[in-house]
Amino acid sequence: MLFRYAESSREYWSKMFSQDKTPFTVRSIVMIGFWSPCLAFARRMKEAGVAVHLIDMVDEPASFERHSAAIEADGEIMLWSDAKSEKAILQIQNFAKRVKADAIVTADEFTQLWLAENRHRFEPACRVLAPSAATLQVLLKKPEQVRIAREAGFNLLPNWELFTAADAAQIPADSFPVCVRPGAPDSVQPMFKAMVLDTPQALDQFLAGIQWQGSPLLVQPYCFGPNIVVHGVADQSGRMIALRAYLAYRKSRGFAVSLRSMRLSTEMRTACVNFVQASKITGPFHFDLLQSAQSGRIYFLEVNVRLGGTTAKVIRMGYDEPMLMLKSFGISTPVDVPLPGKFQQNVTGKRLALAHLVDALCKRKDPLSYPQKSWTSDVFSALWEAITVPDVLFNLRDVRGSLWYMLRVNRPAKPAAQKSAI
């Protein structure tokens, strides 16, 4: 037993210090943190014969909880308060060594940047599935995204950057209502995704109740309409492996509830490719665009360079983002397994759909929802959607994971200095 362990340990560290960068097969992956896109990724890996070992991120000390049958039972927990520390890096290194991990993945922006900054501590034996730290440091700042998007050829709404409450005076009165968004995932407390404010007075009142933490707020004229999500994957040479567009024909609280496939125009494709190449993105990404219901014009909102909230949805529509992600980093799986089941033209997330139904029943105003309907139409259309459109994560082959997905109210909280939104 001891001899076999010594042999396996020597083999691991030999690979760790090898300079061989050739493509290799992944049989074991360490996942840091667990959210809805992680569930979709883990299930896909299990189908391909890859073991997913979880280090779950939690607020308080607790025993490890196996959230899904798609992850192994030998996981660990890590406190958010320990994140970015040497203690945490050593924990991940030792865990990766124990499970003989070939790769590390996360769906959290800050953890992703932290891993990328410490890439040399893991590679080449264990590849960090993330763009370069330099790319992530730029793209975590929304004003930088806006600058790159303008140069790439995207249409942009007028933008104002607010560093203090006094900066709101620069916004013309005829630009209201406006939509306010954080300039970076951790730039404001309390945290929010987006806020629609009708008047300068409402904006002043809102700004009086928040605290800036280094990055400006972005303010744009409110534009009503559906979102367009463009999913893509680029390899380490900058070559585009895949690029597809989806219409978020139902939105709630600023999130895409339901998607359907749509044609990607030449103009959108060119702008996306220009942006990816200019910012040197590697791996999966998704652009969040907004289409004006009035003019039909499509505007850039943001880009995320990680697995995200629509990952599970596009997998159900035949876009194999997990496998494309591995391919972009020069990795293959033990078994080349095609996506199972029949591809869907329309998909939804039952948890979000039901949350929207509750909002409609309670007559809660949501200016970020789409479409805007009468109370009766909204209730019945939301109910019909929840009943008839296939869910992306509820799966009876993984009852544990399905219950975790349906019953959790929200993603686990994180300390204020490390919060991000998926």
Structural domains of the chain ordered from first start: 2-131 (3.40.50.720), 158-221 (3.30.1490)
- Phi, psi (deg, nearest 5) at residue 186: -115, 25
384 pLDDT more than 50: yes
* Mean pLDDT score across all residues of the chain: 87
For residues 58-84, give the mean pLDDT: 94
pLDDT of residue 415: 39
224 pLDDT more than 70: yes
Task: Pick the closest to residue 228 from 261, 196, 252 (CA basis).
Answer: 261
20 pLDDT more than 60: no
For residues 181-209, give the mean pLDDT: 90
Q: End-to-end alpha-carbon separation of the chain, Å?
A: 43
Instruction: Say how far apart CA 119 and CA 143 lie, in whole Å.
Output: 26
pLDDT of residue 13: 41
The listed range with the strongest mean pLDDT (18-27, 63-72, 205-214, 408-417) is: 63-72
Does residue 334 have a cis peptide bond before it, meaning omega lies within 30 degrees of 0?
no
For residues 175-184, give the mean pLDDT: 93
Under 8 Å between Cβ of 325 and 242: no
The DSSP secondary structure of 209-228, one letter per residue, reads: T-EE-SSPEEEEE---S-EE
pLDDT band at 247 (very low <50, low <70, confident <90, very high): very high
pLDDT of residue 22: 54
pLDDT in tens, 345-370: 888 877 777 777 787 788 787 888 88
For residues 41-70, give the mean pLDDT: 95
For residues 40-59, give the mean pLDDT: 96
pLDDT of residue 23: 60
218 pLDDT more than 90: yes
More confident residue, 191 or 413: 191
305 pLDDT more than 90: yes
Under 8 Å between Cβ of 25 and 2: no
Q: Is 363 helix (H, G, I), strand (E, B) or coil?
A: coil
Instruction: Say how far apart CA 136 and CA 114 lie, in whole Å.
Output: 10
Entry pTM: 0.87
